[in-house]
Structure 1
């Protein structure tokens, strides 16, 4: 009887450990290495057209893993990369705001607010199209990732063209 209890306890412990590991994976923020992958790509690629190749460098390999192969996992992978691009977007927005005159700051702020509304609306389309299907979240996330990355690249390019 003791061995059956022990097997049940060990089995339950294993299930809880797997559940916690999966839960940790689902909540994971981008690693320093994942962030560095995109930053390094942006720094080494000269010109916006080549920087576009930096999009999906974290999400694609993550989606190729066992954890990333499910719809939920794909969403986590995409979200990780969105977090990286969003951080870079905000950093470059602040850098640009710091070097613009008042008129430029007002224009950039208005443009950024308009762009945010556009991105959010443009990336909402999968939900009505897929009528609540789980694939809608993946498509919306990919849209959000791509549009955020492209806007980040636009801001980097603006900074590159400003006189120093």
Structure 2
């Protein structure tokens, strides 16, 4: 149930409906910071990994109160950017690759989503009534989404081609 809520939140963050500057929609300055960090990282995976959490940090610094709701919104904003990166990479991979690669991409995506959702449900299982569990769950969801986005991006543009 909780994972479904996380997936719904993430979906709404990246949907056209959310583009009306809702609380989970990345702000222009956050989008700029995200892309600038990735640009600075260049083609080096480990440098690009350093971008994970940058949008969250930028957002969290502007929160008037450090509530768990506000922190979850900040993670949702960043996750929306990583999910858009995933969609762009998947589109590029599907366009340029052969049928076996496309099949492998679909299978890997399915397995990755199951892994992410199961893994990020652990904080809820550990503390189902706590207010920290949703924050830890969203942090996990964001981190694993970011790592998958970076990996797919690397596959989509090997050696910067």
Runs of 4+ with >3 A deviation = none
Work out which of the two has the higher radius of gyration on C-alpha atoms and give 1 or 2. Answer: 1
The aligned residue for residue 34 of structure 1 is: 30
The aligned residue for residue 137 of structure 2 is: 140
Normalised by the length of structure 1, the TM-score is 0.78
Cα shift readout 1:84-118 (whole Å, capped 9, x = no counterpart): 11111111111111111011000111111110111
The aligned residue for residue 102 of structure 1 is: 99
**Cα distance in 1 between the residues matched to 2:46 and 2:65:** 28
**Structure 2: unaligned runs, 5 residues or longer:** 1-19
Residues 134/145 of structure 1: CA separation in 2 closer, same or farther (3 Å cut): same
The alignment yields a C-alpha RMSD, in angstroms, of 2.1
**Cα distance in 1 between the residues matched to 2:132 and 2:31:** 26
How many residues align? The count is 141
The aligned residue for residue 8 of structure 1 is: none
**Structure 1: unaligned runs, 5 residues or longer:** 1-23
Judge conservation of contact 1:68–1:76 (CA < 8 Å) in 2: no
Normalised by the length of structure 2, the TM-score is 0.80
The aligned residue for residue 159 of structure 1 is: 156
Q: Give, in angstroms, the shift of residue 68 of structure 1.
A: 5.5
Q: Where do 1:77-116 residues align within 5 Å?
A: 77-116=74-113
